[in-house]
Structure formats: structure tokens, C-alpha cells
């Protein structure tokens, strides 16, 4: 029942708001209760069991073996918790909505409901359907309530994500049809069992993996399909950017972790060179492009794209420590980018601009905003003490160890060394953005700007506390996640996570 509540509470609240319920109070109450339920699920979760907990099944079609099934393992639990935290923060940061206030809050809750359903679904059909549900309000939020050239941005994101979803659908259909008809099912657990039994041919794995990599990759903004993301985030209202960059973009990474990594090991090995080349494009090329940006919102948009390259590197590592790091970075990046977009939105609301040359010295009149943005920037660049640092360290160690038995550097180790330069690049553009916005000489017209509203300390504290907790105590995260990831490598179940044993070097 708790999982049904987590998934349907935002959806029912959105419908109530559309029917005339008080928008802000209803949205805040729904998101707060959803977060409390998520924390309760986290506390009750069995950290040893490799299977799914809180499983709920409603039969839909016996002929098609289609059921509405929800369940949580370590991976999906972490993503549900991320969604709940960012949703509450996004709604809390929402200020006065000039028009269609009820529709605005309903769209935010629909994004949250779609993400919750996608992360909790154990059925391939509903996993895809819930994600598509979340995309529709994203387009509306940009096109109706966005800024700048919002119509062009809305159309661009619609076209890109529609193409990505179509390619993804082809891959999922091919995956469904690749298993023997006697065991064919939409249930992810059945498909995983078939894959573990070697019932998905190697040739089919290569074809399916490429389709999933392209489909999910476009949704994630994998280079060179990344150009929709910075423009969309710059045009979107701050709460929408928080939810999409912080949560919804992680669906593609979650899908690769849930489907491609455990079910298509031969496909992952075959296309490893392609993934390495593309993720380096995210880290190096997009990182350099971020340095060249002149607007704060575009810097944040490009930085979000860049950091996806690190997560891809963790996925490509194909070992326990690297994939644990990738999942932790998904969580940490979701929190830090949500905080940065929230503060950028508050700055834009007060100044009417995010052009760096028109800002400066805002820390003198907006000390709370300056402090919060600084914490988000430090987390984003991987400062020790934040969850991002722990995650990136695990990714680099995991990726470098992939194929460490070779006598010379292999493709994974070369990519890891090149990716390390991304740490320097991210420090350059983020510190530059912070200095240009909050330090230096302040134009006289900003001398009367008000600081953040006092009640915003709560969502800021929530995001920062989660970043610090999982930064200082990453084992809290790893203990929940490792049983799930260890199940991807059946020959390594006897080794504890992070022990430095062959478990960390196992390939899927």
C-alpha cells in the first residue's frame, strides 16, 4: 500500500488541483506526504534481500501477460527518494504564478507522478508509459510559462524527446520479442531471468543495446544529441528545470541500469567503444562549451549535460564500485542541479536577467542566495564532503579497474584519464559563474534587491542536508544499493561491496 500511495498521491493531488482545490497548499501537502512515505519505505527496506520489496500487482491482461506491478529494490528506492525530495523543493520554490496557477502546479505534480511510476514499475509497458506521462507537462511548462524563446525551445525538446522515445520503444519491443515465446512477458523480473539463463541471443543483444543506448541516450542528452537540454532548461520555469534536470533526465540512466546492463551484457561489450567516445564528448566537448557560455542558466544547462558523461562512465565500468558510483551520482547530481536552478530562478525573478555581464556583487544584498548557490556549486564540482565527490571517486576507480589485468592501458583506462580533466573544466566554469554573479562590483540598480524569502531555508536545507549526509556517509547509500547491483553479477555474490575483490572487476 505504501508504494501505491507514493505513486498515486501526486497524481490524485494534480487531479484535485485541476478540479479546483487550492493549488499551492494541495501541492505542498501532497509532496510532503509523498516524501514522508518515501523516507518510511527507505527505513523499512530490507538491505540484504536482492529482490523487490513492497510488491503490488494488479492483473490487466492474461492473454498478453500484462500486469500493473510496482516494487522497489535498492536502485528504484533511491530514485523514488530523489524524486520526492526534488518535488517538494521545486513546489516550495514556486513563487507567484502569473496565470493558470492551478494548471502550473498540476503539471509539476504530473511530472513527479510520472517519474515515481516509471521508477517503481516492474512492468516494461508501464515503465515506458509513466515516463511518457511525465513528458507531456514538461512541454506545457516550457511553452506556456517559460521565458525567452520558449516556443522554439518547447518544440525542440518535443521533437528530440519524441524521437528518443520512438527509438526506445523499438528497442523495448525487440527486447520483448527476443525471449522465447513460452516465457515472453512484460515483467522485468521474467525478462531478467531469461537473460540470466542465456535466452537472449548475442546478435539480438547487440541490436537491442544499440537501440536502447540511442533511445535512452537522447532522453539523457548524450552527445551529440544534447543540444535540446541547455535551451530547454534556460527557457523553462525554475521548478520545471529542477524536476526535469534533477529527476526526469535520470529516467534514461535508470533504464540503462535496469535493462541494458543486466540483460544485455554482450551488447554492452560490443558497443563499449561507442559509449566511450560519446561520453567523452559529454565531458570534454560539452564541458568546454560550458566555459564559453555568457548566461547563468545556459551554464547550468550545459553543466547538467556534461555531468551525464560521468554517469555513463560508471555504467561502462561494468563492476560493482563503478555502477554504485553511477547510481550515487544520479542521486547527488539531481539534488545539486535542482538547488542551482532554484537559486538561478530566484535571481532571474529579482533582476530580470541571468546574463553574467549584467550581474555581479549580488552576494552583498542576497547573502542567503549566495551561500546556497555556493554550496550547490561546490557539490557540482565534486568538493570533498558532498555526495558528488564520493560518487565521482567511485566512478573513476571503477572505470579504471575495468580490464586492469591488461599489461597496458585499455580503452576504459584511457577514457578515465581523459575524463579526469572534466573535474578541472567543471571547476573553471562553476567558479567563474559564481564569481560573476555574486562577487565583484555590484551595479547600483541591484542595491535594493531583496534576499531569498526566509521560508526557502527549508527546501535549501533539505537539498544540502541530503548532499552532505550521503557525502560523509556514502555507505548508507551503498548498503541499500549493493544487493541490487550485485545481483547483476551472479558470480560475485560472495564478495562485499567495495572490498577490492574481483567482485569489482566483474564484467556483465
Q: In this structure, what C-alpha cell is assigned to residue 115? A: 517519474
Q: Does residue 508 fall inside a structural domain?
A: no
**Same domain for 307 and 162:** no
Residue 486 in this model has a pLDDT that exceeds 90:
no
Final residue belonging to a domain, choices 218, 240, 270: 270
**Same domain for 176 and 47:** yes
**Same domain for 110 and 95:** yes
**Same domain for 100 and 182:** yes
Domain region containing 68: 1-270
Q: How many domains is the chain built from?
A: 2
**Same domain for 149 and 63:** yes
Alpha carbon distance 95, 345 (integer Å) = 10
Predicted confidence band at 429 (pLDDT cuts at 50, 70, 90)?
Answer: very high
Q: In this structure, what C-alpha cell is assigned to residue 460? A: 535549501
Alpha carbon distance 72, 53 (integer Å) = 5
**Same domain for 381 and 325:** yes
**Same domain for 162 and 75:** yes
CB 88, CB 138: distance < 8 Å: no
Final residue belonging to a domain, choices 255, 270, 285: 270
Q: Does residue 210 fall inside a structural domain?
A: yes
- Coil, strand or helix at 78: helix
| Vertex 197: Cα angle to 194 and 202 (nearest 5) | 85
**Same domain for 312 and 173:** no
Predicted confidence band at 507 (pLDDT cuts at 50, 70, 90)?
Answer: very low
Q: Does residue 118 fall inside a structural domain?
A: yes
Predicted confidence band at 453 (pLDDT cuts at 50, 70, 90)?
Answer: confident
Which ranges in 121-201 belong to alpha helices (H)? 124-145, 150-178, 188-196
pLDDT at res. 64: 74
Q: Does residue 503 fall inside a structural domain?
A: no
Q: Does residue 421 fall inside a structural domain?
A: yes
Final residue belonging to a domain, choices 243, 270, 297: 270
Stretch 163-167: mean pLDDT: 94
Give how far Cα 415 sits from Cα of 206, 316, 487, Å. 22, 10, 26
pLDDT digits 0-9 by tens, 63-116? 777 889 999 988 999 999 999 999 999 999 987 787 888 999 999 999 999 999
Q: Does residue 506 fall inside a structural domain?
A: no
Q: Does residue 436 fall inside a structural domain?
A: yes
pLDDT digits 0-9 by tens, 271-298? 989 999 999 999 999 999 999 999 999 9
HSE, side-chain direction, 13 A CA sphere, residue 272: 24
pLDDT digits 0-9 by tens, 388-406? 999 999 999 988 887 555 5
CB 446, CB 365: distance < 8 Å: yes
Q: Does residue 287 fall inside a structural domain?
A: yes
**Same domain for 279 and 265:** no
Q: In this structure, what C-alpha cell is assigned to residue 255? A: 533504464
Question: Which helix (H) or strand (E) element contains residue 57?
Answer: strand 53-61
**Same domain for 191 and 53:** yes
In our burial notation (b when 16+ CB lie closer than 10 A, e otherwise), range 77-108 reads bbbbbbbbbbbbbbbbbbeebeeeebbbbbbb
Alpha carbon distance 281, 388 (integer Å) = 20
**Same domain for 260 and 375:** no
pLDDT digits 0-9 by tens, 119-134? 999 999 999 999 999 9
**Same domain for 2 and 63:** yes
Least Cα distance to 173 among 116, 234, 124 occurs for 124
Amino acid at each position: 500500500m505504501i508504494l501505491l500511495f507514493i505513486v498515486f498521491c501526486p497524481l490524485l493531488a494534480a487531479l484535485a488541483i485541476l478540479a479546483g482545490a487550492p493549488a499551492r497548499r494541495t501541492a505542498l501537502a501532497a509532496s510532503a506526504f509523498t516524501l514522508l512515505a518515501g523516507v518510511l519505505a527507505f527505513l523499512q527496506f530490507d538491505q540484504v534481500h536482492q529482490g523487490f520489496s513492497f510488491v503490488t500487482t494488479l492483473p490487466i491482461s492474461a492473454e498478453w501477460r500484462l500486469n500493473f506491478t510496482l516494487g522497489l529494490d535498492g536502485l528504484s528506492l533511491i530514485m523514488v527518494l530523489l524524486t520526492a525530495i526534488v518535488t517538494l523543493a521545486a513546489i516550495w520554490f514556486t513563487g507567484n504564478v502569473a496565470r493558470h496557477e492551478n494548471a502550473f502546479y498540476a503539471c509539476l505534480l504530473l511530472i513527479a507522478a510520472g517519474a515515481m511510476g516509471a521508477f517503481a514499475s516492474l512492468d516494461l509497458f508501464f515503465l515506458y508509459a509513466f515516463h511518457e506521462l511525465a513528458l507531456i507537462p514538461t512541454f506545457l511548462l516550457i511553452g506556456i510559462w517559460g521565458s525567452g524563446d520558449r516556443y522554439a525551445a518547447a518544440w525542440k525538446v518535443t521533437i528530440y524527446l519524441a524521437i528518443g522515445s520512438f527509438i526506445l520503444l523499438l528497442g523495448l519491443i525487440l527486447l520483448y520479442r527476443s525471449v522465447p515465446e513460452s516465457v515472453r512477458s512484460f515483467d522485468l523480473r521474467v525478462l531478467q531471468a531469461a537473460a540470466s539463463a542465456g535466452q537472449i541471443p548475442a546478435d539480438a543483444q547487440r541490436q537491442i543495446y544499440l537501440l536502447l543506448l540511442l533511445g535512452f541516450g537522447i532522453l539523457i542528452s548524450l552527445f551529440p544529441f544534447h543540444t535540446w537540454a541547455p535551451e530547454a532548461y534556460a527557457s523553462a520555469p525554475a521548478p520545471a528545470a529542477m524536476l526535469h534536470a534533477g529527476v526526469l533526465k535520470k529516467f534514461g540512466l535508470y533504464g540503462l541500469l535496469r535493462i541494458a546492463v543486466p540483460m544485455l551484457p554482450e551488447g554492452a561489450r560490443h558497443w563499449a567503444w561507442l559509449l566511450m567516445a560519446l561520453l567523452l564528448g559529454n565531458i570534454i566537448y560539452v564541458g568546454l562549451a560550458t566555459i564559453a557560455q555568457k548566461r547563468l542558466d545556459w551554464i547550468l544547462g550545459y553543466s547538467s549535460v556534461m555531468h551525464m558523461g560521468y554517469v555513463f562512465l560508471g555504467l561502462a565500468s561494468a563492476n560493482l564500485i563503478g555502477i554504485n558510483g553511477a547510481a550515487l551520482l544520479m542521486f547527488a547530481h539531481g539534488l545539486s542541479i535542482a538547488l542551482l536552478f532554484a537559486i538561478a530562478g530566484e535571481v532571474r525573478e529579482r533582476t530580470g536577467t541571468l546574463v553574467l555581464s549584467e550581474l555581479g556583487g549580488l552576494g552583498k544584498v542576497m547573502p542567503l542566495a549566495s551561500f546556497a548557490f555556493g554550496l550547490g556549486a561546490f557539490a557540482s564540482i565534486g568538493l570533498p564532503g558532498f555526495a558528488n565527490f564520493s560518487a565521482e571517486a567511485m566512478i573513476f576507480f571503477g572505470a579504471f579497474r575495468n580490464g586492469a589485468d591488461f599489461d597496458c592501458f585499455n580503452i576504459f583506462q584511457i577514457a578515465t584519464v581523459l575524463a579526469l580533466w572534466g573535474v578541472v573544466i567543471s571547476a573553471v566554469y562553476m567558479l567563474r559563474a559564481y564569481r560573476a554573479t555574486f562577487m565583484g562590483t555590484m551595479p547600483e540598480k541591484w542595491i535594493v534587491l531583496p534576499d531569498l524569502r526566509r521560508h526557502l531555508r527549508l527546501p535549501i536545507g533539505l537539498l544540502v542536508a541530503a548532499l552532505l549526509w550521503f557525502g560523509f556517509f556514502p555507505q548508507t547509500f551503498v548498503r541499500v544499493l549493493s544487493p541490487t547491483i550485485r545481483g547483476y553479477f551472479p558470480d560475485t555474490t560472495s564478495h562485499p561491496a567495495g572490498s577490492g575483490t574481483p567482485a569489482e572487476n566483474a564484467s556483465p
